[in-house]
Each structure stands twice: as C-alpha cells, then as structure tokens.
C-alpha cells in the first residue's frame, strides 16, 4: 500500500515535471514565433520605408531638376535682358556721340569730348575702335575746319597761288624764274606736260578743284591740287589748306561710318 502511494506520487511528480517542460517548450516556441513575426514585420516595415524613401528621393530629384531648369531659364532671360539693355544703352550712347560729333564738326568746333564718349564702346567693338583711331587727336582737340570755312579759305588763297602756279618750286635760275612769273601773272597758256598744266592749265585745275570743294569732296580736291601744283611755288600756298582738307575728309568719313554703325545697332534692337 505504501509502495503504491510512493509510486503514485512519483508518477504525479514526473507528470508535473513533464507538464512544466511542455509549458516551457510551448512558451519558447511561442516566443520564437513572436520573434519571427516581429522580424517579418520589421523587414516589411524596412522594405516599405525604403520604397517610400526611394520614391520620395525620386520626387525630390524631379523637383530639383525642375527648379534647376527654371533657374537656368531665369538666368538666360536675365542675361538676355541685361545684354539687350547693354546693347540698347551702347546704341543710345553711340547715337548721341555721333550727333554731337556731327554737329560740332559741322561748325568747325573741337569734338574731343564727344569722341571720348566712344572710348568705353571702342573697348568692346573693334570696328568702332578703328574708326576712332582714324581721327588724329589734334584734329579732335582743335576741331576740323567746316565746309564753309574751307571754301572761303580756298577762295582767299587760290588767287595768290595762281600768280605763282608756273613758278618752279626750287632750282630755277633768275631769268627762268622771272619768265615763269611773267607767264603766270599774265595767265599764259602753255602747251606743255608740266604738273601745272592740268587739262588746259592753271585755270582748269583751279576750276576743277572749286567744283570738288563745292561738292564737299575735300580729299579729292586736295589730291588734285597736289598733282597739279606739287612741283610749283603754288604748293607752298596750298599746303596748309590741303592738310586741313584731308583732316576734314577723315572726319567726314569717320562720322559717316559711325552714323551707319549707330543705325545698324538701333535696327538690331527692334
């Protein structure tokens, strides 16, 4: 009886131990399942988060690209507007300077101040720089004689020049010089090939020069006088006028070119 009791107690104890081990094993399995579930949830969360981050990054990159394109467009527009503004300002300065130079040269006044206005433009425009450089500085500072002044001056000197037009400039003997002077004073027409014999003589050359001067062709008139009277005493009388006429021709040519450039620049803005 006693042995049965002990056996029963031993069996009960074994069952209790087994039950606790079963409970412990079930608990461990439950924990493993829970941890695996948590792990799967964490992995799924990480995948979802990563996808969201990638998507968000793609959206942000797209927004950055769009913003960059807009910024570049603004830069281009601003640069174009600035360039147009600069070209407009340059065109206005050029037009004002040309008008000033044209007015002052028309009156025979100095125009160095108006020419200085073209200095900044000449730094960026080689063509304008070449035109400005073609005008002698002393002409700009003192002014080029006007067309009217050159005409009146020519009328004053041509009579004196005509009287000595047949006199050699140098190297002639006394008798030769006196005969030449007499011929010149009396307007003797000689059938010769001398430089003073320009298509009919002194009067013909002077008449041709007067016509060129009236037409404002000062460079051509200066060239004609040099050709016709270059080796005669008349050239000493004409020399200063010839230089003044050439200075005037340079200024007229420069003004014409600058005026054309101003018109071209103005048209390019419209």
Torsions phi, psi for 142 (to 5 deg): -100, -20
**pLDDT above 80 (res 204):** yes
Q: Is the pLDDT of residue 176 over 70?
A: no
Least-confidence region, from 89-93, 129-133, 240-244 = 89-93
| Cα 31 to Cα 35: distance, rounded to the nearest angstrom | 6
Which pLDDT score is estimated for 132?
86
Read off the pLDDT of each residue in 136-140 and give the average, rounded to a whole number. Answer: 89
Tell me: pLDDT of 240 over 80.
yes
152 pLDDT band, cuts 50/70/90, is: very high
pLDDT given for residue 56 in this prediction: 83
Q: How confident is the model at residue 49 (pLDDT cuts 50, 70, 90)?
A: confident
How far, in Å, are 156, 177, 180, 181, 187 from residue 196 at the CA level? 19, 15, 12, 13, 12
* pLDDT number for residue 22: 80
**Residues of the chain by 3-state class (helix, strand, coil), percent to 5:** 80, 0, 15
pLDDT tens for each residue of 104-113: 988 889 998 8
DSSP string, 221-263: HHHHHHHHHTTBTHHHHHHHHHHHHHHHHHHHHHHHHHHHHHH
Q: How far is CA 210 from CA 102, 202, 206, 222, in A?
A: 24, 12, 6, 11
Q: How confident is the model at residue 270 (pLDDT cuts 50, 70, 90)?
A: low
Rounded CA gap, 33 and 185, in Å?
Answer: 139
Res 129 pLDDT > 80: yes
Closest CA to 234 of 152, 132, 166, 147: 166
Q: What value does the mean pLDDT of the chain take?
A: 78
Percent over 90 (pLDDT), the chain: 16
| pLDDT tops 50 at residue 189 | no
Q: What pLDDT does 220 receive?
A: 93
pTM of the complete model: 0.56
Please provide the size of the chain in residues: 270
Q: Is the pLDDT of residue 5 over 90?
A: no
- Give the model's confidence band at 195: pLDDT under 50 very low, under 70 low, under 90 confident, else very high: very low
Tell me the pLDDT tens digit for each residue of 208-239.
999 999 998 999 999 999 998 888 888 888 99
Mean pLDDT of 237-261: 90
């Amino acid at each position: 009886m006693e042995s049965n009791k002990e056996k029963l107690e031993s069996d009960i104890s074994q069952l209790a131990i087994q039950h606790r081990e079963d409970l412990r094993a079930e608990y461990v399995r439950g924990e493993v399942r829970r941890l695996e579930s948590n792990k799967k949830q964490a992995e799924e969360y990480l995948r979802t988060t990563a996808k969201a981050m990638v998507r968000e990054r793609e959206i942000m990159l797209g927004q950055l690209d769009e913003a960059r394109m807009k910024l570049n467009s603004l830069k281009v527009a601003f640069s174009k507007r600035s360039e147009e503004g600069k070209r407009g300002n340059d065109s206005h300065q050029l037009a004002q300077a040309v008008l000033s130079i044209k007015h002052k040269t028309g009156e025979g006044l100095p125009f160095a101040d108006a020419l200085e206005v073209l200095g900044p433009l000449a730094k960026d425009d080689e063509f304008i720089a070449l035109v400005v450089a073609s005008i002698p500085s002393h002409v700009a500072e003192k002014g080029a004689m006007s067309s009217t002044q050159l005409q009146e001056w020519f009328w004053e000197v041509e009579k004196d020049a005509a009287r000595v037009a047949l006199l050699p400039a140098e190297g002639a003997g006394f008798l030769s010089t006196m005969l030449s002077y007499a011929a010149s004073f009396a307007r003797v027409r000689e059938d010769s090939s001398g430089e003073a014999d320009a298509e009919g003589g002194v009067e013909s050359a002077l008449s041709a020069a007067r016509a060129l001067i009236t037409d404002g062709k000062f460079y051509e008139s200066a060239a004609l006088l040099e050709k016709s009277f270059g080796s005669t005493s008349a050239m000493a009388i004409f020399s200063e006028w010839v230089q003044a006429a050439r200075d005037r021709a340079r200024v007229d040519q420069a003004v014409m070119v600058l005026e054309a450039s101003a018109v071209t620049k103005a048209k390019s803005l419209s």
